[in-house]
Amino acid sequence: MKQAIQVFQYDLPVNLTVLEEGGYLAVCDKLQGCLAEGKTAGEAVANVIDVASNIIEIRKEEKLPIRLKASKKRNGKKSNGIRRLLG
């Protein structure tokens, strides 16, 4: 399952995977180190949103660039996924 989230002004696609041992893994490939687990899909997405927010906040505080990897394209088009607006 793929979902795109917006943390501040960043559009971050998230891949959600069901884990064999139970629970879910949410990974944002565009932002290095951005991944999280949860017992439910919603919990995994909420956790990865927190991780993304923390990564971005720390990089801003340290005056470091926020480097986002380019989105992967499907059939020559950018994958949009589902959008969820966050404050």
How does pLDDT run across 53-85, given as a tens digit for each residue? 899 889 888 999 888 887 554 444 444 333 333
Domain with residue 21: its CATH number is: 3.30.160
Is the pLDDT score of 86 beyond 70?
A: no
Say what the pLDDT of residue 69 is: 80
* Residue 1 near residue 41, CB atoms below 8 Å: yes
Residues 11-40 have pLDDT tens digits of: 889 999 999 999 999 999 999 999 999 999
Q: How many domains does the chain have?
A: 1
Q: How many CA atoms lie within 13 A of 69 on its CB side?
A: 12
Identify the domain containing residue 17 by its residue range. Answer: 2-85
